[in-house]
Structure formats: structure tokens, C-alpha cells
Amino acid sequence: MNPGDPASSGRDVPRLVGGLTKPATSRVAKLFRYVNRTVVELSSPDAAEMAKLLENIFRNVNIALVNQLAMLCERMGLDVWEVVDAAATKPFGFMPFRPGPGVGGHCIPVDPYYLAWRARQFGFVDRFVELAGDINVSMPRHVVELAAEALNSRGRSIKGSRIGVVGVSFKPDVRDVRNSPAADVIALLRERGGEVSFHDPLIDRFKDAGGHESESQPLASLVETSDLLVALVAHRAVDWQMVYERAGLVVDTAGTARHRNLRTDQVLLLGSGWLPAGGDSSGNGGN
């Protein structure tokens, strides 16, 4: 199932079944055909599990690729969001992935290391998969560096600054915080002396990676009282128009500022740089 997507629990999503014996596979497949229209029978539980790992690790690797490209684009003065959108015009052979503050949930951050552990039991080191996992794990630290850069542009440091984080779930429009990148982002900001509060329309309380627990604050007051806002999750329930109308300084890691009417040096976008006034995030990001 894909959290936040009701269609993923519907009858049209195929299910994979692999039993210890062929009769076991057939019996379980017969049961699942009452639930799903398509049931794919595999030769074993291991084959079914490897198929699941491949699907999740495929996403992890591609997210890592675009996150690496995002950091390169920041240095080159390019906009990775524009680049990905342009590549996605190809009608074959390409699947768009977009950058972000890291990966979360109960599968994608875990499965690369699970497979790497299993591979070592067969004398095989899967450096490619491990590297992709490490890249995504490192993204919260990069977000904190962007926060420091944004505050420095105002003659401030993270220490002593009031920082508001918008969105703490692991992905948009879900109430799930398992392995959320926000836990590391907030903990790292607090380690550097930031006074961090958060707003999430779906999460009432949140504990960061350092064990500090706090309550969600009203969005309007968070915007008004923060020296910097960090947009981590593009929840549809957040009034992003109000955020960008009132916020003085924003680090956007989720693309929420793109194509909005912005002010000069208001928004530092992950994978792009400082967005120009007027809201057109295409072309040079302003680095």
C-alpha cells in the first residue's frame, strides 16, 4: 500500500504471492483473488520478498540520484526542478523523481540496508545500494546547511534564531511520522542552538531524533514569530499562499514555493538556490 493514496488499497493493485510449496502458493493466491483482480504467483517467499525490495530500493536509488543532482545544481547555478520537469517530457525510458529532505516511512529508508545485510551473508557487498541509502540519510544535514545559509544572508546564525518547520510526517498528506527526515532536521537545528517549533495539520505532537517532544503550533503564529521557515512536507492542507505572502525568509525543500509571487531573497530552494522575485523558478536559481 502507498500511504496517502486510497487507490493503492483497491482491487486493481496486483499482489505478489510466493509460498513454500506450489500448493501453498495456489491456495494463498486463490484467497487473494477475492480481494484483488490480479495476483502474481512467484516461485518462493524469497522471490516475492526480493521483488518487494527491488521496488522499494528502485525508488530509494532514484531519489538519491536526484538528491545528488540537486546539490550539484545548487553549485552550478541551475534549477534541478526545472531539469527534472524537462527530462520528464520524454515519453519513454524516464520516470521523474524529485529532491527532498530525505526519505521516510517503514520501507524505503530500511530496505537498502536490509538487502545489504542479507547480501553479505552470501559474500556479496552491494555498495551501490548502500551508497544510495547513505546519500538520502545525509539530506537532513544538507537542509540544516541551507538553513544556515539563509540566516547568514540576514546577518544571523542558527544559534538563537527562531526556526519554524512546516510538515513533520514522512510524506505529504499522511499522519505517519516513522523515520521522518524531520526528526533529524529538527534535532540538528536544536543542536546548533536553534529555537525550533513546528506546524503540521495532521500531527499533534512530534519527537525529534534527540528525544525532544513538542506540540504543533498554529500556522499563522509560526509564520509571524519565526526568523526562518523550513518547508519540509508539501501537505495540501497547509495554506502555502499565506506562508509565502507573510513569511520573510523560507528554506523550501519540497517545491512549495515554485511558481508563486515571491520577493527578492525570500526563498532558498533545495536544488536551485535563491528564487527570483515574481515566482518564476525556471532557469538560473540565483546562485
Closest CA to 182 of 214, 223, 148: 214
Does residue 73 have an active-site annotation?
A: no
Q: How many CB atoms lie within 10 A of CB 284?
A: 14
CA 287/CA 74 separation, integer angstroms: 7
Instruction: Report which DSSP code applies to 87.
Output: H
| Alpha-carbon gap, residue 147 to 139, rounded angstroms | 13
**Per annotation, catalytic residue among 64, 84, 107, 186:** 107
Enumerate long-range contacts of 277-286, CB under 8 Å, 24 or more apart.
Answer: 281/79, 281/81, 281/82, 281/257, 282/79, 282/82, 283/79, 283/82, 284/77, 284/78, 284/79, 285/73, 285/74, 285/77, 285/78, 285/79, 286/77
Integer-rounded Cα Rg, in Å, for the chain is: 21
Distance separating the N- and C-terminal Cα atoms of the chain = 40
Active site residues per annotation:
107
